[in-house]
Amino acid sequence: MRCPYCRHADSRVVDSREADDGQLIRRRRSCPECGKRFTTVEEAVLAVVKRSGVTEPFSRTKIIGGVRKACQGRPVDEDSIALLAQKVEETVRAKGAAELPSHEVGLAILGPLRDLDEVAYLRFASVYRSFDSLADFEREIETLRAAARAREGAAAGAGATEPAGVGAAGAAAGRTT
């Protein structure tokens, strides 16, 4: 491998060690020309198979691009998007497969995106699940509301003593009628 400092055509491996539970190998290299040291990382390429059958390498940049588009105009910062993409990559790599269908990548995005921003989530889900009617949106929004109610219920239950729990339950019951 070429030296990134002096561009010398070759370098020597002085140390190799596994990282991330054997998912990747870091090599410490030394340049025989300038004597500088640098590190390289080797990891298996994760292939994503598109619906058309075309295969392309998994790209975190692509995830970031797609999520950023869904988050347009939303109060979501770049760091949160980068963190989400990192989470998605960890999830899909943890499956341990050499290749996976693109819809599984989309699926891995949905969960963390819902936690990040519900509007961005709806936008992304509408494309990913190809919503084609208002009913599709309604169903998804109802699912979001049910999850929010469950969270409120859990919080009220944990709070325990006050009639707040009763109030929340009453309100929920009121909404369903």
34 part of the interface to Zn ion, by CB under 5 A: yes
18 part of the interface to Zn ion, by CB under 5 A: no
State how far the Cα of 45 lies from the Cα of 59, in Å rounded to an integer: 10
Please enumerate in sequence order all residues whose Cβ is within 8 A of that of 105, keeping only pairs 6 or more positions apart, or say none.
48, 58, 63, 88, 92
Smallest Cα–Cα separation from 47: which of 108, 98, 93, 105? 98
Q: 40 with 26: CB under 8 angstroms?
A: yes
Q: Which stretch binds Zn ion (CB under 5 A): 26-34, 40-48, 67-75, 88-96?
A: 26-34
Among 33, 43, 56, 90, binds Zn ion (CB under 5 A): 33
Q: 93 with 119: CB under 8 angstroms?
A: no
Number of residues that bind Zn ion (CB under 5 A): 7
User: Minimum distance between the CB of residue 39 and Zn ion, rounded to whole angstroms?
Assistant: 14
Of the chain, the end-to-end C-alpha distance in Å amounts to: 69
Please enumerate in sequence order all residues whose Cβ is within 8 A of that of 28, keeping only pairs 6 or more positions apart, or say none.
13, 14, 15, 16, 37, 38, 39
29 part of the interface to Zn ion, by CB under 5 A: no
Binding mask 41-70 for Zn ion (x = CB under 5 A): ------------------------------
User: Minimum distance between the CB of residue 2 and Zn ion, rounded to whole angstroms?
Assistant: 9
Q: Which stretch binds Zn ion (CB under 5 A): 1-9, 37-45, 72-80, 145-153?
A: 1-9
127 part of the interface to Zn ion, by CB under 5 A: no
Cβ closest to Zn ion, residue 32 vs residue 157: 32
10 part of the interface to Zn ion, by CB under 5 A: no
5 part of the interface to Zn ion, by CB under 5 A: yes
Task: Give the CA distances from residue 4 to residues 7, 26, 29, in Å, rounded to whole numbers and listed in that order.
Answer: 6, 16, 11
31 part of the interface to Zn ion, by CB under 5 A: yes
Query: What single-letter DSSP state applies at residue 9?
Result: S
Give the footprint of Zn ion on this chain (CB under 5 A).
3, 5-6, 8, 31, 33-34
